[in-house]
């Protein structure tokens, strides 16, 4: 498989190529169609797997990259459903030590998934719109 684009700049995953036409898949819609070979141009350096991954919303990709295990993902889901939450409430509610909690929150902040806030006069966190969109997509 290879990544190709048509005259309009749309990227496709090339599935099969014959003498006159090629079977391509649009990664965003999953639609397969035949396109004349003359209308396609190979894209050097772009993996077909990377092209296929464009079907996943960007917010979900951020979560998949930042949440490296079930606990990390669960923290984001809980914070989205219950938040905003104070750091004190997070430590009281979940089986995370302070350094693990702050490490995860730091990674989520760097990824743009949570933001620091104040909850009843205490430091806390809440999910961003990006994280909420991803959680809704993943749990919906």
Phi, psi of 46 (to 5 degrees): -110, 115
> What's the CATH number of domain 58-139, 3.40.50.720, 1.10.10.10, 2.50.20.10, 1.10.8.60?
1.10.10.10
Identify whether the C-beta of residue 23 lies closer than 8 Å to the C-beta of residue 16: yes
Domain 2-53 fold: SH3 type barrels. (2.30.30)
pLDDT of 140: 87
The pLDDT tens digits of the residues spanning 20-31 come to 999 999 998 999
pLDDT in tens, 72-95: 999 999 999 999 999 999 999 999
- Its pTM stands at 0.77
Q: What residue segments make up the domains of the chain, in order of their start?
A: 2-53, 58-139
| Residues 21/23/26/29 CA torsion (nearest 10 deg) | 130
Tell me if 2-53 shares its fold with 58-139: no
Specify the pLDDT at position 103: 96
Please state, in angstroms and as integers, the Cα–Cα distance from residue 103 to each residue in 41, 72, 107, following that order.
Answer: 44, 10, 6
Q: pLDDT truncated to tens, each residue of the chain (140 aa)?
A: 899 999 999 999 999 999 999 999 999 899 999 999 999 999 999 999 999 999 999 999 999 999 999 999 999 999 999 999 999 999 999 999 999 999 999 999 999 999 999 999 999 999 999 999 999 999 98
């Amino acid at each position: 498989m290879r990544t190709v684009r048509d005259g309009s700049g749309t990227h496709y995953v090339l599935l099969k190529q014959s003498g006159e036409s090629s079977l391509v898949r649009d990664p965003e819609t999953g639609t397969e169609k035949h396109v004349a070979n003359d209308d396609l141009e190979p894209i050097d350096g772009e993996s077909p797997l990377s092209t296929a991954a464009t079907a996943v919303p960007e917010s979900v990709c951020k979560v998949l990259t930042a949440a490296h295990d079930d606990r990390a993902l669960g923290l984001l889901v809980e914070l989205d459903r219950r938040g905003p939450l104070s750091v004190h409430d997070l430590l009281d509610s979940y089986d995370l030590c302070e350094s693990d909690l702050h490490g995860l929150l730091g990674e989520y902040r760097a990824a743009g998934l949570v933001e620091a806030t104040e909850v009843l006069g205490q430091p806390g966190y809440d999910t961003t719109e990006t994280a909420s969109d991803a959680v809704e997509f993943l749990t919906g």
